[in-house]
Structure 1
Amino acid sequence: MKRARKAVLLLLSTIFSIAAVAQRHNILNENIRSLQVVANQDWLALPIIEVGNGVLDINFDDLSTEYHRYTYSLQHCESNWKPSTSLFESDYVDGFANGNTIDDVTPSLLTNTAYTHYHLRLPNSNCQPKLSGNYLLTIYDDNDNVAIKVCFMVKEPFTKSMGVGLNIVTNTDATINNAHQQVEMELKYNSYNVTNPQSQIKTVLLQNKRWDNARWNVKPQYVMNDGLRWSHNANYIFWAGNEYRKFEILSTNVAATGIERILWDGKHYNAYPFISLPRPNYLYDEDADGAFLIRNSDNNNINTESDYVLVHFQLSCPQFTNGDVYVNGDWTYDRFLPQYKLIYDDQSKSYKAVIPLKLGYYSYQYVLVDENGNAEIAPTEGNYYQTENSYQALVYYREQGGRTDKLVGYTAVKFKIK
């Protein structure tokens, strides 16, 4: 048994995401800040709406006082996020898939950092997605340059869905009640006709909505007439990590949760979260698994009256030689970009970064990224089986002779130790 567990650990050390980063939001205009993509006002969940039901809100700021005419296009994608080239626009959208403008535009009010806020809601009178699956919404500036790429999903209604069940265990095939969590998954076809599951069914399993370490199309152990089952599958073992760190900045005058002090330097407000220290033990703390929420102390006109502050991150620890340290959360869109990288300071013996953020609640963790771009939880965070991670499963189906992948199953669970 010990030999088998060592083999699984070796396999885990070599697992990496096989998909491109097309499924992650992407900001390509340096003036754009605070992109939020929220379905049905649930800021903790993946951006998923049902066919014919629900709303998707897209909010972002342009750090300019000038109005810019932003337009958008909508593209249906397959389960691997490649464009659905076999479909016509009329197959997946009612209205117009291209040339739509974002008309809900409001300048900031009484903020030190001036900006213009843009809001788009789908569906709207010009554009209504009508086919389940993955969608890429591309936003263009007034010079027709791509400014933002937004990824979201549309799923079949509950009555037309496959049944998806998840169970999380800590007695894993890698370790027993130690550093890992293992997912068991069961899929019921319900009314769908599946004759060749290998070609007709595609699956994605996420931990804490992270796409950078997603598990794609893992082969099930059990193939049944009415469904599939994954049990004791090494590819469904995840490092458990620790609870996310968090802070809240609700005002430029008063330090809130997780903030030691806020200072004015004559030009900018500067917020200093308490210095992050290594976590040698599991630390329970109710968190949001990387999610963020724009808000202010008055909860009034949060999108246009919330200011920007320079947030000074500091992680006190020895310097690592096997990778770079990044701060990661939903608000970094699982992208390990220079603006989220911490630089080691020899004098203070710590990693530091200064990141401009809008007032609100932020949860985050530190990750270590190697030279190949593979990320793992930084050693300072630790891996503890008790960690209350969330897991999300997406199931896609293509009927025999069908032209596209439909999103027919989705579930999300929050692991809590019993």
Structure 2
Amino acid sequence: MQKYLLVLFLFFFYQSSAQQYTDSVYRANIKSIELYNQSKAGSLPAINLNSGDKLVLGFDDLTGQTSNFYYTLEHCDALWNSSRLAPAEYLQSFTEDQIINYKYSSGTYQKYVHYEIIFPNANIIPKYAGNYILKVYEDGDQQKLVFTRKLYVLNSRVSVAATIVPSNNVQHRQTNQKLNFTVDFGQLRIQNPATDMRVLIMQNYRSDASILNREPNIIRGTQLIYNNVNANDFAGRNEFRYFDMRSLKAGAHGINRIYRDTGFSVQLNTDINRNGQPYEFQFDNNGNFFILNQDGSDPRVDADYARVFFSIDARKSATEGSAYVIGRFNNFKPDANSALKFDAASGRFTTMLLLKQGVYDYEYVWIDNATKQADDTVIEGSHYETGNDYQLFIYYRPPGARWEELAGFQQISTAKNQNR
């Protein structure tokens, strides 16, 4: 019995620890978390080392009461494992800071407190390039985690050239997008490319749609060439569905009806299964979301919350598997919070999510009862023509160093199929 309890404890301890190094929320009252480069809302939370770049973090506490929130950073490797460095090694100033900038919501049915910080600042300054986990916690106690977010600090020391081509697999040429790329490391000391440099490719900021390249298949001088015929082959997926909830006074794209009683309820149009249908262009934000309010002047504090009702005719039943609605607004996570319930009477999967006014991209993921694997193409389909952004992160471990730094970054879009 004691052995069983020990194994159980270690399992939950590992699960809890692993969550700390990804995008997770630990309090149901915390909503609408945004983290982006100050130059552009919704952008990748990345800055250049020792530059004037800033990140903006904003979030709402739906209790409507102020709390003592603190934040810190922890350095991680390319796979988001802790680098096991002391905070004083990778932070130049203090090791934590309190979030003291907040405002109460104004004129909204749902009362909340909006918190916001801009960093690096005088208290929090990263010393090394690399991956960082931002931890927000209460009362200065990191055991009272509120949420975590990934961010990137870049020290550009390599150049990258990438192209997008159809899959080499004949069966996937109409559905997949393959990346070939070359990294030129210039004057960097590279003793073993398999251990000194790793490249992560991510589709639309999605960690669930990423591939890690551990070593090139060709080395030519200072160039590392990654063009293996079977590597870096991504499902093109489909254009994201979206709805426009910038106004709660009138309907817009994707919205069927808006109700108001003690709060707002928004019924979206019923979605259909798009698998097997021909590709159809639709403008989207590649899974992103933006907090916006046409009825007010400052969406940070005057945008209201609404109960948003989703429904999908998935052409499947609960005996076959489970459906989930995901997007960047919930970190693309198919979990209990994003799960839909099957309504036998209508044959549809439905759910309700509490969301702040704005524009939201979303899609549906299917988890089959037999395979237990999450797959969005089962409901959404997949096309080579789909517009996607791909992010390439190049990680470098300096000789003798105990950490990996982010030495290069490049984004390429299928829309132009060129670096931008």
Compute the TM-score of the two structures, normalised by the length of structure 1: 0.89
Letter in 2 for 1:313: F
Letter in 1 for 2:402: R
Distance change in 2, residues 1:223/1:370 (3 Å): farther
Distance change in 2, residues 1:22/1:67 (3 Å): closer
Structure 1 residues 313-322 or 400-409, which shifts more? 313-322
Work out which of the residue numbers 131, 151, 162 in structure 1 matches 2:128: 131
Map of 2:262 onto structure 1: 267
Q: What RMSD, in angstroms, separates the aligned Cα atoms of the two structures?
A: 1.9
Note the alpha carbon deviations across 1:23-80, whole angstroms, 9 max, x for none: 5311101110011111134334321111122111111100022110101122111222
Map of 1:7 onto structure 2: none
Measured after TM superposition, the shift of residue 375 of structure 1 is 2.0
Report 1:56-75 matches (<5 A): 56-75=55-74
CA distance in structure 2 between the aligned counterparts of 1:263 and 1:155, rounded to whole angstroms: 46
Measured after TM superposition, the shift of residue 354 of structure 1 is 0.5
Map of 1:165 onto structure 2: 161
Report 1:297-336 matches (<5 A): 297-298=294-295, 300-320=297-317, 322-336=320-334
2:185 pairs with 1:202: no
Structure 1 residues 335-344 or 165-174, which shifts more? 165-174
Distance change in 2, residues 1:370/1:216 (3 Å): farther
Note the alpha carbon deviations across 1:281-334, whole angstroms, 9 max, x for none: 211011111100001004621100000001111111322555321111111112
Map of 2:114 onto structure 1: 117
**Which 5+ residue runs of structure 2 have no aligned equivalent?**
1-17
Work out which of the residue numbers 207, 214, 218 in structure 2 matches 1:211: 207
1:313 touches 1:353 (CA, 8 Å); kept in 2? yes
Work out which of the residue numbers 241, 248, 251 in structure 1 matches 2:247: 251
Work out which of the residue numbers 361, 364, 367 in structure 2 matches 1:363: 361
Distance change in 2, residues 1:180/1:385 (3 Å): same
Work out which of the residue numbers 278, 281, 289 in structure 2 matches 1:281: 278
Count how many residue pairs are aligned between Structure 1 and Structure 2. 393
Measured after TM superposition, the shift of residue 267 of structure 1 is 2.1
Report 1:77-156 matches (<5 A): 77-85=76-84, 87-98=85-96, 100-142=97-139, 144=141, 145-156=144-155
1:108 touches 1:115 (CA, 8 Å); kept in 2? yes
CA distance in structure 1 between the aligned counterparts of 2:63 and 2:126, rounded to whole angstroms: 31
Measured after TM superposition, the shift of residue 161 of structure 1 is 2.1
Distance change in 2, residues 1:370/1:32 (3 Å): same
Note the alpha carbon deviations across 1:190-225, whole angstroms, 9 max, x for none: 221212111100121111111013112344221222
Distance change in 2, residues 1:333/1:171 (3 Å): closer
- State the identity as a percent: 27
CA distance in structure 2 between the aligned counterparts of 1:120 and 1:233, rounded to whole angstroms: 45
CA distance in structure 2 between the aligned counterparts of 1:29 and 1:394, rounded to whole angstroms: 31
Measured after TM superposition, the shift of residue 227 of structure 1 is 2.1
Letter in 2 for 1:267: T
Letter in 1 for 2:102: V
